[in-house]
Amino acid sequence: MHLLVCGGTSCRASESALIAESLKRELEEKGLGNEVQVIMTGCFGLCEKGPVVKVMPDNAFYVQVKPEDAAVIVAEHVIKGKPVQRLLYVNPSTGEHVRDPRQMGSYRKQIRIALRNCGSINPENVNEYIAREGYAAIGKCVAEYTAADVIDVIKKSGLRGRGGAGFPTGLKWEIASKNRADQKYVVCNADEGDPGAFMDRSVLEGDPHSVLEAMAICGYAIGATKGLIYIRAEYPLAIQRLKIAIGQARDYGLLGNNILGSDFSFDIDLRYGAGAFVCGEETALIHSMEGLRGEPTNKPPFPAESGFMGKPSNVNNVETFASVPVIINKGWEWFSSIGTEKSKGTKVFALAGKINNVGLIEVPMGITLREIIFEIGGGIKNGKKFKAVQTGGPSGGCLTEHHLDTPIDFDNLVAAGSMMGSGGMIVMDQDDCMVSIAKFFLEFTVEESCGKCAPCRIGNKRIYELLTHITKGNGTPADLDRLRNMCLVIKDTSLCGLGQTSPNPVLSTMDNFMDEYMAHVTEKRCPAGSCRDLMKYTIIEEKCVGCTACARGCPVNAISGERKEPHFIDQEKCIKCDACFERCKFGAVLIN
C-alpha cells in the first residue's frame, strides 16, 4: 500500500511535508513502516482543495488534509480499510463525498483532444498511431462521406481555427471547396512564433500522423491533392519526425495515390521557414513558401481564392488539424458537447511565467483563468500575489484579477481586451511591472515586423521608445495620451494582423493598470519595483554601523563614509547593481 502526498508547491505551502512526516510517524508507531510507503508526488492539479493525499491502490482521494488527520487515516483507512468519509473529495455537482476519482466529476480540468496521443505513443511508429484509431478517420471519409459531408461534420462540430483569430474551420474549408481550379493546396501552418508557445511543436513531435491524416481529410473535403507543411527550420526534431511519419504513411499507402483503395490521392511535402513571426500570417506564409520575401499582402484575395502559386489554398494551423480526425471518428455531436456556445472543444495552452506548474495543458473552452492558474498551474510561484495573465502572445492583452472567473473562449477573451492567439499564457505576479511587460512584447514586435507598412515598421518602434522613456522615469502624462493615440492608429492602419494587434499589450495594460503608468510618469516610481532606472538605493543612517562592507563591494565606488560612521550613496554614480543591498548585514540599505 502507498500513501501519496501531494508535494506540489501549493500543497507544500499548506504543510503537506508535515502531513507526510506525520503519516510516516503514525505508520512506524503501528509497525507498518515497511509495508506502507509514504510518497511525495508532484502536483495533482487540485491546489484549491490541497493538501491532497491519495491512498493506493484503493484510489481514495483525501482533500484539505491537516497534519493531525494522519492518525485517523492510518488508524481507519490503512489498518481497518475504512475510508475517512469527512476527508473525501466532495463532488461539486452532487455534493456527495466520493472515494473513487472516477466519480469525482470534473476534478480533472484537462481533456486531451489535440494532445490525445502526445506522450502516449511512439511518434516514430505508425502502427501505434493506427492502434489508437489512427487513419480510421480518413478511411471513414473516403468510404462513407462525400466531400460535402466532411465539411458538414466539421462545420457542425463548431471547430474554430486554433492559430489565433478563431475563424470557423468548416466554413473556411467550404469556401476553398467552392473555388474551382485545376490544382488546390492544403497548407499546414507550423510556423509557431509566439514567444513561449510550443504547442504545435509538441503535437508534431508527439503525434505527427494526426496532422498528416487531417490534412488528407481536408484535401478530400476541398478537392486538393497536394499538402504542404510550412514549418520553421528551428524545429529540427519536429521536421525529422514529420519526415519519418510521411515516409511511413507513404509506405502504407496512406499518402499517395488511391488512398485505402479509393479514388482519392493526396501527398504532403515540407517547406521550411526561417522563423519569422510574420510568416505565421497566411499571406506572408504563402509568399515565403513561394520563395518570396515573407511579407503579407492585402486581403482579399484570401488564400481560399488565390493562395499558393495563385491557386485556392486552405491554411490551418497544426492544432486545428490535430483536432480533426477525432471529430470524424467520434462525431461532431461529441466535439460540440465540449466547450461553450460559440467556442467548441478544447484549447492547448503553454502555461508559463510566475506559475508553479509550467507546462503544456489542454483544457475545455469555457474553463476559467482561475482554474487554469490556481489548479492546473498550481498557483503563483513562491506564494506571491497574482497580478495579471497575458494571453494571445504579442498580439494579446493582459487580463487581471477581474477576469479570473470569466469563462475562456474566443469571444470572451476579445471582449476582455485580449485574444486567444495561438495559446501562449504568461502569468505575472506582484513583482512584474506592467509598463515593462508591455515594453517586452513591443520589443518582440519591433524585431518581428516585416517592415512593409509604415505604422508597424516605424510606429511600433516609436511606441517601444516611448515605453523605454517612461520606464526610465522621463515620461510625462502627456506622453500617455500620445502613446494611446499611436497605439490606436497602428491598430487602425496596419496592413496585417501583426501590426493590427501589436499595440494590444500596451492598450490592455493601460486600460487595466493605468495607475502604474501614472506612477511612472508623475512620481517617477515603479510600483512593482522592477524598473531599475527608477530604483533608488539609500542607506538608513540609524541602521548603518559603518562596517564598510557596502563601500568595499560597490563596483563603481559610489559609497563613501568613515569607518564606524553612517555611509552614503552617491546617486549620480550608483548603477543599481544591488551589491550593497546584498552585502549589508544590518538591513541598512533601502531600495525604493
Partner 1 sequence: MEKLKSIADLEKVRIETKAQLDMRATDGSPEAVVQVRVAMATCGIASGARPIMDFFIEELDKRGIGAVVTQTGCMGYCYAEPTVEVQLPGQDPVVYGFVDRKRADEIIEKYIRNGELVEGIIPVNYEKID
Partner 2 sequence: MRGRMTMETIKLTIDNKQIEIEKGTTILSAARRMGIDIPTLCHMKLDDLNIENKPGGCRICVVEVQGRRNLSPACITRCDEGAVVRTHTPRVMNARRTVMEFILSDHPKDCLICPKSGNCELQDMAIRLGIREIPGQEIAEMSTYRKDTSPSIIRDLDKCIMCRRCEMMCNEVQTVGALSAVNRGFMAVVAPAFEQNLEYSPCTYCGQCVAVCPTGALTEVDHTGDVLRAIADPSKTVVVQTAPAVRAALGEEFGMKPGSLVTGKLVSALKELGFDYVFDTDFAADLTIMEEGTELLARLGKFLNGDEDANIPILTSCCPGWVNFFEHNFPDLKDVPSTAKSPQQMFGAIAKSYFAEKINVSRKDMVVVSIMPCLAKKYESQRPEFSVDGNPDVDFSISTRELAHFIKQANIDFNNLPDADFDRPLGESTGAGVIFGNTGGVIEAAVRTAYELYTGKKLSRLDFDELRGMEGVRQATIDFDGFPLNIGIAHGLGNARKLLDDVRAGRSKFHAIEVMACPGGCIGGGGQPLHHGDSSILKARARAIYEEDKNKPIRVSHENPYIINLYKEFLGEPNSEKAHHLLHTHYFDKKAKIIVKQ
Q: 453 in helix, strand or coil?
A: coil
**Binding track, positions 8-37, relative to partner 1; x by CB under 8 A:** -----------------------------x
Tell me how far apart the alpha carbons of residues 568 and 556 are, in angstroms, rounded to a whole number.
Answer: 13
Length of the chain: 592
Give the pairing of strands 267-273 and 226-232: parallel
CA–CA distances in Å: residue 331 to residues 156, 325, 334, 379? 10, 10, 6, 36
Taking CB under 8 A as the criterion, which residues in 64-93 touch partner 1?
Answer: none
137, 325 contact by CB (below 8 A): yes
What phi and psi values does residue 273 have, to the nearest 5 degrees? -105, 155
Among 19, 23, 73, 113, binds partner 1 (CB under 8 A): 113
Taking CB under 8 A as the criterion, which residues in 540-559 touch partner 2?
Answer: none
Would you say 484 or 583 has its CB closer to partner 2? 484
Taking CB under 8 A as the criterion, which residues in 560-579 touch partner 2?
Answer: none
- Residue 457 found at the interface with partner 2 (CB under 8 A): yes
Taking CB under 8 A as the criterion, which residues in 254-313 touch partner 2?
Answer: 276, 278, 293, 295, 297-298, 300
Tell me how far apart the alpha carbons of residues 304 and 556 are, in angstroms, rounded to a whole number.
Answer: 62
115, 360 contact by CB (below 8 A): yes
Q: Which does 22 bind (CB under 5 to 8 A by kind): partner 1, partner 2, none?
A: none
Q: Which helix H or strand E contains 194, and what residues bound it?
A: none
Q: Which does 133 bind (CB under 5 to 8 A by kind): partner 1, partner 2, none?
A: partner 1
- Residue 40 found at the interface with partner 1 (CB under 8 A): yes
Could you tell me the three cell numbers for 30? Answer: 503501528
- Residue 374 found at the interface with partner 1 (CB under 8 A): no
Q: Which does 37 bind (CB under 5 to 8 A by kind): partner 2, partner 1, none?
A: partner 1
Would you say 253 or 477 has its CB closer to partner 1? 253
Give min distance, CB of 336 to partner 1, in A: 14
Would you say 25 or 457 has its CB closer to partner 2? 457
Among 48, 66, 131, 560, binds partner 1 (CB under 8 A): 131
Where does 306-449 have alpha helices with state H?
318-330, 332-336, 369-370, 410-415, 434-448
How would you label 59-69 residue by residue, b for 16+ Cβ within 10 Å and e otherwise? ebbbbbbebeb
Could you tell me the three cell numbers for 51? Answer: 493538501
Would you say 37 or 500 has its CB closer to partner 2? 500
Tell me, rounded to whole angstroms, the distance of Cα 467 from its chain centroid. 25
Tell me how far apart the alpha carbons of residues 147 and 262 are, in angstroms, rounded to a whole number.
Answer: 13
Residue linked to cell 529540427: 236
Among 4, 150, 190, 373, binds partner 1 (CB under 8 A): 4
CA–CA distances in Å: residue 520 to residues 18, 35, 474, 558, 572? 44, 61, 8, 25, 20
Among 29, 148, 167, 261, binds partner 1 (CB under 8 A): 261
- Whether omega before 300 lies within 30 degrees of 0, making that bond cis, reads yes
Would you say 11 or 446 has its CB closer to partner 2? 446
Would you say 19 or 506 has its CB closer to partner 1? 19
Taking CB under 8 A as the criterion, which residues in 149-188 touch partner 1?
Answer: none
**What DSSP line would sit under 192-240, residue for residue?**
--STT--HHHHHHHH-HHHHHHHHHHHHHHHT--EEEEEEETT-HHHHH
77, 30 contact by CB (below 8 A): no
Tell me how far apart the alpha carbons of residues 421 and 409 are, in angstroms, rounded to a whole number.
Answer: 11
Tell me how far apart the alpha carbons of residues 286 and 273 are, in angstroms, rounded to a whole number.
Answer: 11
- Residue 194 found at the interface with partner 2 (CB under 8 A): no
218, 185 contact by CB (below 8 A): no
- The CB density around residue 381, as the number of other CB atoms within 10 Å, is 16
Among 10, 16, 22, 110, binds partner 1 (CB under 8 A): 110
**Binding track, positions 395-414, relative to partner 2; x by CB under 8 A:** --------------------
- Residue 507 found at the interface with partner 2 (CB under 8 A): no
Q: Which does 206 bind (CB under 5 to 8 A by kind): partner 1, partner 2, none?
A: partner 1
Tell me how far apart the alpha carbons of residues 177 and 314 are, in angstroms, rounded to a whole number.
Answer: 9
- Residue 43 found at the interface with partner 1 (CB under 8 A): yes
Side-chain half-sphere exposure of 2, counting CA atoms within 13 A? 10
Tell me how far apart the alpha carbons of residues 435 and 328 are, in angstroms, rounded to a whole number.
Answer: 46
Contact region with partner 1 (CB under 8 A), list: 115-123, 149-157, 178-186, 283-291: 115-123
Among 71, 72, 111, 165, binds partner 1 (CB under 8 A): 111
- Residue 195 found at the interface with partner 1 (CB under 8 A): no
Contact region with partner 1 (CB under 8 A), list: 91-99, 112-120, 384-392, 512-520: 112-120
- Residue 44 found at the interface with partner 1 (CB under 8 A): yes
Q: Which residues pair with 358 in a beta bridge?
A: none
- Residue 136 found at the interface with partner 1 (CB under 8 A): yes
Would you say 332 or 517 has its CB closer to partner 2? 517
Taking CB under 8 A as the criterion, which residues in 312-331 touch partner 1?
Answer: 326, 330
Site residues, partner 1 (CB under 8 A): 2, 4, 6-7, 37, 39-46, 54, 56, 108-113, 115-125, 127-128, 130-136, 139, 143, 198, 201-203, 205-207, 235, 237-238, 248, 251-254, 260-261, 326, 330, 356-362, 376
Site residues, partner 2 (CB under 8 A): 276, 278, 293, 295, 297-298, 300, 446-455, 457-462, 465-466, 469, 482, 485-486, 489, 491-495, 500
